[in-house]
Amino acid sequence: MFYKPSRIIFAFAFSFRFISVQAQSQQPDSAVIRHIFREALTQGKSYENLRYLCTQIGPRLSGSAGAAQAVTYTKKLMESYGFDRVYLQEVMVPHWVRGEKEKAQIQSTKGRQMVPICALGGAVGTGKKGIKAQVVEVRSFEELRQLGRVKVQGKVVFFNRPMNPAYIETFMAYRDAVDQRGSGAIEAAKLGAVGAIVRSMNLALDDFPHTGTTRYEDGITKIPAAAISTNGAELLSRQLKADPNLAFYFKMNPETLPDALSHNVIGEIKGSEHPEEIIVVGGHLDSWDLAQGAHDDGTGCMQAIEVLRLLKALNIKPKRTIRAVMYMNEENGLRGGRKYAEVALTNKENHIAALESDAGGFTPRGFSIDATPNKIAEVARWKALLAPYGLNNIGAGGGGADIGPLKNDKIALIGFRPDSQRYFEVHHAASDTFDRVNQRELELGGAAMAALVYLIDKYGL
């Protein structure tokens, strides 16, 4: 029979891919990992799956119609890949809605100027008329307390401590600044403030306000709390210096509704030798409502699904059970992660490792591990296998919010760590859209996670 050259090449390539990986137990690990990366970079599905999630479904705040659509989509997606089991896990989640678009205005001797703000998640509203008051600017809770009630009562507290640009790892800068967003409304209300305005958690100067959860405490008045864009924060700070008596007006009308029924979405490939030992890989399916939730955390969800798809496509039959979990409600409650851990405890499941991707879909740099020193050392011994793919930073560190409730002395909690330099430009902001995701970076991340899962599955922890 005569074969066209293109058919011969295709048949050879397919046979090589199948046979070589089918015999992966007889191959060096480096060869198997090379196959994983080749498959991801030439046949990867994460990017197109993310395109649908972002552009056809979009924002997915817990309790919303978008979140429900994302549950349906990811369940059908995993079913289409033929995973051994795909199922839903019920979880009740908070249902907070933003309401009409927020408005804010600086009113000074120089005139009136609109600035971009957004309500912080869980915040109460200002009422239909809004709030107008003088402003006090602070950079820390200690500075606020030193002002005292006399200087704060009846005013809007403006928390204006920037993320520290001196950190190489931007999540460290986030950690050192985010207390303003989380507890600013509480601390301001203790001194009689009528509102809290918080500088966005963003190292760049732009016009996008970044939302995120704020908290309240029983017995302390709940006051409206909003984020202001970094450009807006700079402008307000300058104008306060020129006119300390200026007024700030803002209006927002969010609402907290009764808890809603939602789901974690779970897909798994059953282990062939030790099915009772479970390796979890996941991301959170919910997102904030301002944008498409591309980097936070659509990329992590699609990478988690891709880990299982890569193993299946390459005919790598895991010894242990591999699960992909799309957690619901990481952003404003962590109920999905807690529910998963609760069910795992009830069912006496044996999780040996959990890997979370929730730091964006940027270029892979490594993994941080929350585990006993011995387990950290076991993962670190694979550095030589992973380093050719840019995965040089492997060592002790945080695992992730959704896998945190699984923590015990037997499991390794592992955080996927991509390059962090651009993440906070889009984190919790309207700029977190599909067009900000690079296809190769995303697919490389899925391959990096799959490579680590392959090693953990083969050798255990």
**Quick check: is 202 in a domain?**
yes
Q: How far apart are CA 302 and CA 76, in angstroms?
A: 13
Query: How much is the pLDDT for 235?
Result: 98
- Domain of 233, CATH number, reads 3.50.30.30
Phi-psi region of 370 (alpha: psi -120 to 50; beta: other; left: phi over 0): beta
The model's pTM is: 0.93
Same domain flag for 283 and 380: yes
**What residues make up the domain containing 113?**
99-253
Same domain, 305 and 200: no
Task: List C-alpha distances in Å: 282 to 24, 57, 391, 446.
Answer: 25, 19, 19, 11
Site of tokens 């964006």: 360
Catalytic-role residue among 102, 277, 330, 425: 330
The answer on 289 and 230 residing in a single domain is no
How far is 432 from 422, CA to CA, in rounded Å?
A: 11
Nearest CA to 360 out of 440, 294, 446 is that of 294
Full pLDDT tens readout for the chain, 461 residues: 333 344 433 444 444 444 444 444 557 999 999 999 999 999 999 999 999 999 999 999 999 999 999 999 999 999 999 999 999 999 999 999 999 999 999 999 889 999 999 999 999 999 999 999 999 999 999 999 999 999 999 999 999 999 999 999 999 999 999 999 999 999 999 999 999 999 999 999 999 999 999 999 999 999 999 999 999 999 999 999 999 999 999 999 999 999 999 999 999 999 999 999 999 999 999 999 999 999 999 999 999 999 999 999 999 999 999 999 999 999 999 999 999 999 999 999 999 999 999 999 999 999 999 999 999 999 999 999 999 999 999 999 999 999 999 999 999 999 999 999 999 999 999 999 999 999 999 999 999 999 999 999 999 99
Which residues in 246-259 are b (16+ Cβ under 10 Å) and which e? bbbbbbbbbeeeee
The tally of domains found in the chain comes to 2
pLDDT for 225: 98
What does the pLDDT read at residue 11? 42
**Domain C-terminal end among 192, 227, 253:** 253
Are 122 and 39 members of one domain? no
CATH of residue 454's domain is: 3.40.630.10
Please indicate whether residue 330 is annotated as part of the active site: yes
Whether 7 maps to a domain, the answer reads no
At 231, list the tokens: 């450009």
Structure tokens at 103: 């408005």
CA distance 292 to 345: 33
Show the CA angle centred on residue 139, arms to residues 137 and 142, nearest 5°: 105
pLDDT for res 26: 57
For the chain, how many helices (H) and strands (E)? 14, 16
Claim to verify: residue 293 and residue 279 sit in the same structural domain: yes
Whether residue 48 is found in the same domain as residue 118: no
Residue 277: name the closest of 340, 323, 325 by CA: 323
Both 105 and 204 in a single domain?
A: yes
Question: What is the CB-side half-sphere exposure of residue 256 using CA atoms within 13 A?
Answer: 12
In a shared domain, residues 455 and 350: yes
Six-digit token pair at 300?
A: 């992590």
Q: Does 2 reside within a domain?
A: no
Query: Are 273 and 172 members of one domain?
Result: no
**Are residue 60 and residue 164 in the same domain, yes or no?**
no
Distance between CA atoms of residues 132 and 197, nearest Å: 12
229 lies in the same domain as 350: no
Contact between 63 and 262 under an 8 Å Cβ cutoff? The reply is yes
